[in-house]
């Protein structure tokens, strides 16, 4: 199975359905961002701390696997020179829509987040990478490529899932019963039994529950220094929000 192509189709479908992560920002949000007043999410509910952003005026920013007309336009309105790189052409069209509507300069490029060969070494000052690496089978290449294209003293901020969310029985979850079923690392391709994906996750992007070792040590092994971390959840919308945090966000420096 071609994971990249399957997930491209799946995210295109989500755009057509109006999924939360495909809805462009409003003119009011762009207006505030032009004045330096903005809020952006790496994870579902907690805004990125303002101190995690570098000076954005004329900064070269890569929004990595971050299409959808949300983060890229905000960063562009705040003064950055933005490139949005995403696997879904319809997600990129959302960024193009906002750019045209608000007279913003945003470059959009379709591609696989594991392969940034289109960019030269040290092309960007800042990389914004929201919760999207759960849609690729291997994430260490993502960290290595991000390190390569980032300038020295540049920062990478990333959001990703706590892999524990992948280990529960999907059928019992519907009854708010959380029973362990799958081991980590999790993969829609290898962890599910016959017919389970069709039953539970039909039409959704293929997902992968990467270990925290690959998520965090993967960044360190690529050469980054970890300089910030916080946790997040679904804001009480999931029953397991009472017990653990479902997401992490990290800030990493290229020394």
Average pLDDT over residues 75-103: 98
CA end-to-end span of the chain, whole Å? 38
pLDDT at 239: 86
Contact assessment for residue 178 and residue 168, using Cβ atoms and an 8 Å cutoff: yes
DSSP 3-state of 94? helix
User: Which of 34-38, 51-55, 67-71, 236-240 has the lowest average pLDDT?
Assistant: 236-240
Q: What percentage of the chain reaches a pLDDT higher than 70?
A: 100
Closest residue by Cα to residue 129 from 104, 153, 154: 154
Q: Mark out the alpha helices in the chain (DSSP H runs).
A: 3-17, 27-34, 71-77, 89-102, 140-149, 170-173, 196-200, 212, 218-222
Q: What is the pLDDT of residues 156-188, one digit of tens each?
A: 999 999 999 999 999 898 898 999 999 999 999
Full-model pTM: 0.96
Give dist(CA 230, CA 30) in Å, integer. 26
- Cα 5 to Cα 13, 45, 135, 136: the distances in Å are 13, 29, 11, 11
Write out the two tokens for 55: 């000076």
Length of the chain equals 255
- Cα 172 to Cα 123, 178, 216: the distances in Å are 47, 6, 30
Per-chain mean pLDDT for the chain: 96
Give dist(CA 72, CA 91) in Å, integer. 11
Running DSSP on this structure, what letter comes out for residue 254? -
Q: What is the pLDDT of residues 121-145, one digit of tens each?
A: 999 999 999 999 999 999 999 999 9
Q: What percentage of the chain reaches a pLDDT higher than 90?
A: 91
Average pLDDT over residues 41-67: 98
Average pLDDT over residues 110-125: 98
pLDDT at 102: 98
pLDDT at 94: 98
Could you please report the per-residue DSSP string of 147-191?
Answer: HHHEEEEEEEEEEEE-GGGGSB-HHHHTTT---B---SSEETTTT
Give dist(CA 169, CA 171) in Å, integer. 6
Q: What is the pLDDT of residues 197-253, one digit of tens each?
A: 888 888 899 999 999 999 999 999 999 999 999 999 999 888 889 999 999 999 999
């Amino acid at each position: 199975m071609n994971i990249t192509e399957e997930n491209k189709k799946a995210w295109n479908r989500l755009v057509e359905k109006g999924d939360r992560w495909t809805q462009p920002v409003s003119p009011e949000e762009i207006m505030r961002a032009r004045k330096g007043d903005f809020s952006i999410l790496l994870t579902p509910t907690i805004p990125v701390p303002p101190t995690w952003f570098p000076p954005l005026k004329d900064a070269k920013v890569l929004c990595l696997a971050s299409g959808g007309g949300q983060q890229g336009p905000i960063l562009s309105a705040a003064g950055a020179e933005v490139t949005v790189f995403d696997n879904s052409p319809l997600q990129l069209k959302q960024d193009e829509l906002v750019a045209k509507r608000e007279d913003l300069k945003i470059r959009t490029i379709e591609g696989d987040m594991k392969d940034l060969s289109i960019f030269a070494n040290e092309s960007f000052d800042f990389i914004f990478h929201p919760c999207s690496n759960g849609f690729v089978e291997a994430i260490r290449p993502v960290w290595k490529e991000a390190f390569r294209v980032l300038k020295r003293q540049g920062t990478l901020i990333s959001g990703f899932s706590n892999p524990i969310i992948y280990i529960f029985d999907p059928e019992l979850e519907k009854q708010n019963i959380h029973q362990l079923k799958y081991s980590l690392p999790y993969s829609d391709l290898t962890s599910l039994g016959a017919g389970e994906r069709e039953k539970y996750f039909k039409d959704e992007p293929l997902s992968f529950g990467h270990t925290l070792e690959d998520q965090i040590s993967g960044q360190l092994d690529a050469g980054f220094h970890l300089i910030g971390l916080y946790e997040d959840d679904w804001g009480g919308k999931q029953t397991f929000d009472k017990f653990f945090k479902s997401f992490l966000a990290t800030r990493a420096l290229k020394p």
